[in-house]
């Protein structure tokens, strides 16, 4: 997919999502086939504003895959190497995550040593995600994150920087999260792996991955 076509797709998705938000509230009547009720019987799950998700996923111009097809949850080693220290920490700050430099320190209990590259996620109370991209080449000295944060690594050749970019910017992903939260107090982690993500060619993945890495480098230069 070319940059121009990808830009057009994003514009079209933004318009569809915006228009969907202007639909009437839940006081509507519609008939649903039994096949569509296979996932849940909650009426709010089938609000017309979510029809844009189904319409987008069947568009032959773009291939979509489950997030769980391209990432896996990181499993740290049972024991940290003796004498290992970290120079960065990942902390939750309200509705966002922050990677902060620290004095070299031994990882504390309740933290996870981070791999070379990872996507770090916090599920927020409103059902959205706080997403941060970790790359040891950008944060030298190693890092650790709290155990309650979800640390994902690429399970294929997919660029984790691109995945972090999609999770931050893709309106269809945000709409899927909105629908997943309908009728439940919080989103289960397993639902995150069931999100549909647009599968791009490797060169396009690298382009968006390099964009997020460039943003991190720029932030470093400013601080």
pLDDT at 81: 73
Q: Where are the beta strands (DSSP E) in the chain?
A: 64-66, 71-73, 86-93, 96-105, 111-113, 117-123, 129-135, 143-146, 150-154, 196-198
Q: What is the pLDDT of residues 80-108, one digit of tens each?
A: 677 789 999 999 988 899 999 999 988 88
Q: What is the pLDDT of residues 202-219, one digit of tens each?
A: 999 999 999 999 999 999
pLDDT at 151: 97
pLDDT at 120: 97
pTM, to two decimals = 0.81
Higher pLDDT, 1 or 217: 217
Burial of 144 (0-12, 13-18, 19+ CB in 10 A): buried
Asked if 114 and 140 touch (Cβ cutoff 8 Å), the reply is no
**How many alpha carbons fall within 13 Å on the CB side of residue 4?**
0
Q: Does the pLDDT of residue 165 top 90, yes or no?
A: yes
| Two structure tokens written together for 201 | 């060619």
> Per-residue pLDDT averaged across 111-140, rounded?
93
| Two structure tokens written together for 65 | 């895959």
- Name the percent of the chain lying above pLDDT 70: 85
pLDDT at 35: 84
**Measured distance CA(6)–CA(23) in Å, rounded:** 26
> Per-residue pLDDT averaged across 110-116, rounded?
92
Question: Would the CA dihedral through 79, 158, 64, 177 be positive or negative?
Answer: positive
Closest CA to 56 of 3, 2, 19: 19
| Two structure tokens written together for 221 | 């230069």
Q: Does the pLDDT of residue 195 top 60, yes or no?
A: yes
Which spans in 23-170 are helix H? 51-57, 160-169
> Per-residue pLDDT averaged across 72-78, rounded?
86
Question: Would the CA dihedral through 138, 142, 145, 149 be positive or negative?
Answer: positive
Q: Does the pLDDT of residue 134 top 50, yes or no?
A: yes
**Measured distance CA(218)–CA(131) in Å, rounded:** 18
Closest CA to 126 of 89, 95, 148, 166: 95
Q: Which residue has the tokens 């972090």?
A: 164
pLDDT at 145: 95
Closest CA to 125 of 184, 202, 165: 184
Q: What is the pLDDT of residues 19-60, one digit of tens each?
A: 555 554 444 567 888 888 887 888 888 888 899 998 999 999
Q: What is the pLDDT of residues 169-178, one digit of tens each?
A: 999 999 999 8
pLDDT at 22: 55
Question: Would the CA dihedral through 59, 3, 132, 14 be positive or negative?
Answer: negative
């Amino acid at each position: 997919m070319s940059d121009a076509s990808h830009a057009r797709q994003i514009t079209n998705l933004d318009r569809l999502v915006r228009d969907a938000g202007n639909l009437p509230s839940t006081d509507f009547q519609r008939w649903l086939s039994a096949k569509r009720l296979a996932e849940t019987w909650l009426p709010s799950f089938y609000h017309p504003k979510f029809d844009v998700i189904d319409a987008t996923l069947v568009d032959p111009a773009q291939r979509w895959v489950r997030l769980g097809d391209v990432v896996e949850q990181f499993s740290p080693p049972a024991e940290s190497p003796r004498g290992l220290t970290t120079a960065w920490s990942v902390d939750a700050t309200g509705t966002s995550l922050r990677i902060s430099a620290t004095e070299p320190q031994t990882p504390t209990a309740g933290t996870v040593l981070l791999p070379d590259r990872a996507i770090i996620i916090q599920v927020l109370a409103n059902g959205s995600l706080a997403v941060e991209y970790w790359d040891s080449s950008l944060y030298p000295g190693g890092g650790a994150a709290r155990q309650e944060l979800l640390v994902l690594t690429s399970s294929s050749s997919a660029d984790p920087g691109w995945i972090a970019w999609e999770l931050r910017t893709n309106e269809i992903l945000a709409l899927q999260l909105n629908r997943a939260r309908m009728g439940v107090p919080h989103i289960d982690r397993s639902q995150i792996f069931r999100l549909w993500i647009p599968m791009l060619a490797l060169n396009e993945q690298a382009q968006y991955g390099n964009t997020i890495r460039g943003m991190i480098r720029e932030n470093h230069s400013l601080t």
